Amino acid sequence: MIQCAYMSTIFEQIIAGDIPANKIYEDGQTFAFLDANPVNPGHTLVIPKEPYKNIETVPEDLLTAVMQTVKFLAPQIQTAVKADGFNIHENNGTVAGQVVPHLHFHIIPRFEGDDFEHWHGAEDYHDGKAGEEIAARISRSL
């Protein structure tokens, strides 16, 4: 386990039972609870019990366990709240909207007409040149 250089996060305190939360699932490696500020009813956070900051720092086997929990819970949540669909979302870094420095995935139930807005593209790649350049830069970094 990587020791975090920060004090325990609110998520670690929730896992420990020091802060109340509406837990919906727990196994040996993962923990899931309702988001305290939900986008829609049933909005759930799925976290690893170990305090890894983000998707870049979590070991692959633990990330796999987290994603297995997400895959298991998402359709169950959709059914329970009678949602029309759901989004799976992860914010990686403060600039991306990550508020708690503990890896977490959002399962956000979606309802027809819920007014939840998706992001808007900044630039399209219709001319082909910009897309080719970005794809080449990414490929070179692999």
Distances (CA, A) of 86 to 2, 5, 77, 136, 138: 32, 34, 9, 32, 29
Residues in the chain: 142
Catalytic residue among 43, 89, 102, 104: 104
In the residue annotation, 118 being an active-site residue is answered as: no
Chain-centre distance for alpha carbon 34: 13
Phi, psi of 25 (to 5 degrees): -160, 150
Q: Are the C-beta atoms of residues 31 and 49 closer than 8 Å to each other?
A: yes
Catalytic residues: 104
